[in-house]
Amino acid sequence: MIAPVERRTRCLLAALFVSLTSGPARASDPWELWPELDLYKSLGSTTRLYFAAAYAKGKEAEYLTLDTAGYFDLTLEPIFWPSLRAADWRGKRYFWARAGYDQVFKAKDLTASPSEERGIVALHARGYLPEEIRVEARARADLRWIDGDYSTRYRFRIEVNRDFDVCDHVVTPWIQAEWFYDTRYDGLARQLYQAGAELGVTQHFRLEPSLARQLDRFPDRSGLWAIALVARWYY
């Protein structure tokens, strides 16, 4: 029997996802697969490196893309919560900053297109609700050079998640909503909604499947669905 806390949490996540993805859908909206590989390397109690490689089609306009990125994460020593100084980043850190570089290789109709370069700056924060539900927020700026032209994309993401113990493994169902403001169009260009779960396979390896709904307003109105699968290693 599912415990009342787990039942309420699952109902909350399901209701949020239904409400967020209730925008107009068309039968012609394509389905995609978004595979991704991530590696996190701890450098100490307050710093770590993060490397990512992701493939998609349609996530960035009409292009096939291979997205490769490297980041540096920095968190502060908890002053008021000494017990968190040795806590892991995944579920216990309350605030951290990220800076990095992203190279996006693009191809259209099997022909390579000019790649995109991005400088990334982001701030992450986490807080707790009753019943051990976490709320995480991220504010991010993408400093973009596309075919020699500079633009900025501002992104704000909110996530709700909670850990569960399932057969001695940590399972974390989550739901996200993200909004993208693009200076090229001086407006809200994209909305991205996702629901999934992070599965703790071993101490160092986690697998994260999810369902994504992307809605674009600029340069044209369009939408797509995607199955995302992220493999993460933590060291």
Cross-strand bridge partners of residue 11: none
Domain count, the chain: 1
HSE, side-chain direction, 13 A CA sphere, residue 63: 16
Q: Read off the pLDDT of residues 191-214 as tens digits, 9 standing for 90 and up.
A: 999 999 999 999 899 999 999 999
Q: In the predicted model, is pLDDT for residue 166 greater than 80?
A: yes
Give me the domain span that covers residue 35. 4-234
Whole-prediction pTM: 0.84
Q: Read off the pLDDT of residues 17-53 as tens digits, 9 standing for 90 and up.
A: 555 555 555 667 899 999 999 999 999 888 999 999 9
Given a contact cutoff of 8 angstroms between Cβ atoms, the answer to whether 54 and 34 are in contact is yes
Task: Give me the CATH number covering residue 138.
Answer: 2.40.128
Spatial separation of the C-alpha atoms in residues 133 and 127, rounded to whole Å: 9
DSSP string, 124-186: EEEEE-GGG-EEEEEEEEEEEEETTEEEEEEEEEEEEE--EEETTEEEEEEEEEEEEEETTTT
